[in-house]
Amino acid sequence: MAIFLECDEYFDQFKALDQMELHFDATDEQDRTRHYTEQSIEGWMRWVRLREGITLLIEKTHNHDRLLLDVLEGDRSLTWYFILLGKQKNISFPACRGTDFLVHEGRFFLHGSGFVDQYTDDFADTGPFLFVTIFVQPKVLHSFINDPSGELSQGLKHLIRPSGSACYKRAGKTSPMMNTLLQQILQCPYKGLTKRMYLESKAIELLVLLIEEEATIHQGDDQTAWLDLDYRDRIQYAQEILLKNLTDPPSLLELARQVGMCDYNLRRGFKEIFNATVFGYLRDRRLDRARQLLLEPWMTVAETARVVGYNSHASFTTAFKKSTASVQRLINPQSESSPGAEH
């Protein structure tokens, strides 16, 4: 079953919650937590307003049904949205075909300040989610500018666009350093003044990494750089899914659906990045695993075939022999024609 809600309806479902239940700072009027009350969704959201122009939103929810959340168009502040826990969320912009974004654990979605088209957050998978969102007003970035012109550098201008102008959008991968800062935000040990100083310092550190990444990407063609990066992230996510499901992999169409691509682009991307077809790559990883297992004295060929996902002993043996022969030819290309090749 799917639940359809507009964004305002969703937020209206959250009611006041005693901060002490979650061990947050109940003495801070700028640190408020609200609890979701409907049976289909469990969880809470915590808003922390830091210095003027920077706000943290931390959400922990558990969806019992697929959730489709419509967000109306309008001018928005600069926003980075991180998923720290959760299988999959699709962000689709109906007015701009081909600009859907896939976000899952270990990834983030960014939209700059400016006009955001109506979009839908599709929580396609039920289960627990943990999000951290940072909202930044343009004046915060401008406060750090030391150029007499008062303008952002060419590599960052895309982040702040005038009211009514289409905002910039990108999905990216959370780096280890970013993840460390996010965990520090979640595990803040302080209260009162020191808490606010600590959270603000971590938010600023995170912004440093994020803005530096943007500047690096946009040293080239800022019209296509984010597309290339998101494209590669999706292909690498498909690789991760295959590696986690060697024995029971999804079909090509299902894999494409999970990473938010069409099957044609998935096949083409795999060939570009890994120099192999999708299931050629899967086969090779299965056989790599088989070679490791066969080194163990207690593993039989039949048991190894089963562990790496082959239902047929014969098909495994054939694939393994072909792969071994190919490796041998790469190691010793003269072996087939040498006088002793058959001995």
Residues 268 and 285 in one domain: no
Domain end position, chosen among 188, 221, 254: 221
Residue 228 lies in a domain: no
pLDDT given for residue 342 in this prediction: 38
Residue 30 lies in a domain: yes
17 vs 94, residue with greater confidence: 94
Average pLDDT value for residue range 34-49: 83
By percentage, how much of the chain surpasses pLDDT 90? Answer: 20
Rounded distance, CA 49 to CA 37, Å? Answer: 24
DSSP E strand boundaries for 31-106 = 31-36, 41-49, 54-63, 66-71, 74-76, 78-85, 89-92, 101-103
Burial environment of residue 104 by CB neighbours within 10 A (0 to 12, 13 to 18, 19 or more): buried
Residue range of the domain that includes 320: 280-331
pLDDT given for residue 323 in this prediction: 65
CA 250 to chain centroid: 20
Residues 157 and 297 in one domain: no
Q: Is the pLDDT of residue 224 over 60?
A: no
Average pLDDT value for residue range 125-137: 89
Residues 79 and 105 in one domain: yes
Residue 227 lies in a domain: no
What amino acid is encoded at 251 in this protein? Answer: S
Residues 290 and 183 in one domain: no
Number of domains into which the chain is organized: 3
Query: pLDDT tier at 133 (50, 70, 90 boundaries)?
Result: very high
Residues 64 and 154 in one domain: yes
Residue 339 lies in a domain: no
By percentage, how much of the chain surpasses pLDDT 70? Answer: 83
Residues 81 and 154 in one domain: yes
Residues 158 and 51 in one domain: yes
Residue 343 lies in a domain: no
Give the pair of three-digit tokens for residue 301: 């060929």
Residue 341 lies in a domain: no
Query: pLDDT tier at 178 (50, 70, 90 boundaries)?
Result: very high
Residues 175 and 238 in one domain: no
Query: Would the pTM count as exceeding 0.85?
Result: no
Give the pair of three-digit tokens for residue 333: 């290309």
Average pLDDT value for residue range 192-212: 93
pLDDT given for residue 20 in this prediction: 52
Residue 259 lies in a domain: yes
Positive or negative, the CA dihedral 101, 104, 106, 112 is positive
Give me the residue label for tokens 């029971």. Answer: 248
Residues 155 and 244 in one domain: no
Residues 129 and 53 in one domain: yes
Q: How far apart, in Å, are the Cα atoms of 341 and each of 180, 262, 317, 334, 338?
A: 55, 45, 21, 9, 5
Residues 257 and 178 in one domain: no
On average, the pLDDT of the chain sits at: 80
225 vs 339, residue with greater confidence: 225
Query: pLDDT tier at 202 (50, 70, 90 boundaries)?
Result: very high
pLDDT given for residue 297 in this prediction: 75
pLDDT given for residue 121 in this prediction: 86
Residues 256 and 305 in one domain: no
Average pLDDT value for residue range 206-218: 88
Q: Is the pLDDT of residue 329 over 80?
A: no
Residue 342 lies in a domain: no
Rounded distance, CA 206 to CA 316, Å? Answer: 48
pLDDT given for residue 182 in this prediction: 95
